[in-house]
């Protein structure tokens, strides 16, 4: 007896993300300022896509295991826009500005509570940011399980470990977010705080 699969069956060209039968992604999953890592984690979870296939979205000549810095100038934006069903301004805002190099953290920073709800903001990587604007928690860099930090690089290791430490595989928070949540699990006031904070940064000196 045939059993219907829980996830879509995808036929992928390893050089491009070209699902023959379509893939699942809903822009309503995202909050303003969602980082490219957060976007790719959602895509990977919903479709069970491997990290190396997603990193190839960043550019045809990028080694998925070495990866690339999540900078607008380092990523092939035309290629990215052609393969992800998202507005260009969303993708543009998800990447760091190369002109601000030295003003962002080289390792992945997160709010444990945001991670449990499936969110990571591009502003969390800015050196001047210390706390999550929604929950007030200090942004963390070390895994609570192994104590190691993960470089903030778009590579198969980081992208292929949604909401988990790329070093040991331990969850960054107490639970993993749902892959198919129809609405955000984050409270309304927290979504508003994150949205307001991001737009303030866009209008400010960070030039996100």
Tell whether the torsion through CA atoms of 24, 39, 159 and 174 is positive or negative: negative
- The list of the chain residues with pLDDT below 70 reads 1-23, 179-184, 204-208
Going from N- to C-terminal start, the domains of the chain cover 27-177
pLDDT tens per residue, range 47-106 = 888 999 899 888 888 999 999 999 999 999 988 888 787 888 999 999 998 877 778 999
SS3 at position 159: helix
């Amino acid at each position: 007896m045939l059993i219907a699969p829980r996830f879509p069956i995808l036929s992928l060209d390893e050089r491009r993300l070209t699902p023959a039968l379509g893939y699942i992604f809903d822009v309503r999953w995202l909050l303003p300022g969602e980082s490219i890592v957060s976007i790719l984690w959602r895509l990977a979870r919903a479709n069970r896509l491997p990290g190396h296939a997603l990193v190839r979205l960043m550019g045809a000549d990028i080694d998925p295991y070495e990866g690339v810095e999540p900078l607008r100038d380092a990523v092939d934006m035309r290629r990215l826009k052609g393969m992800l069903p998202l507005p260009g301004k969303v993708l543009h805002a998800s990447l760091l500005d190369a002109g601000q190099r030295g003003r962002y953290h080289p390792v992945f920073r997160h709010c444990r509570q945001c991670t449990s709800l499936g969110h990571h903001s591009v502003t969390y990587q800015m050196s001047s940011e210390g706390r999550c604007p929604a929950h007030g928690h200090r942004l963390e860099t070390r895994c609570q399980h192994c104590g190691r930090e993960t470089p903030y690089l778009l590579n198969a290791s980081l992208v292929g470990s949604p909401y988990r430490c790329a070093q040991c595989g331990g969850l960054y928070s107490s639970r993993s977010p749902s892959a198919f949540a129809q609405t955000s699990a984050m409270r309304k006031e927290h979504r508003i705080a994150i949205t307001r904070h991001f737009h303030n940064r866009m209008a400010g000196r960070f030039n996100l």
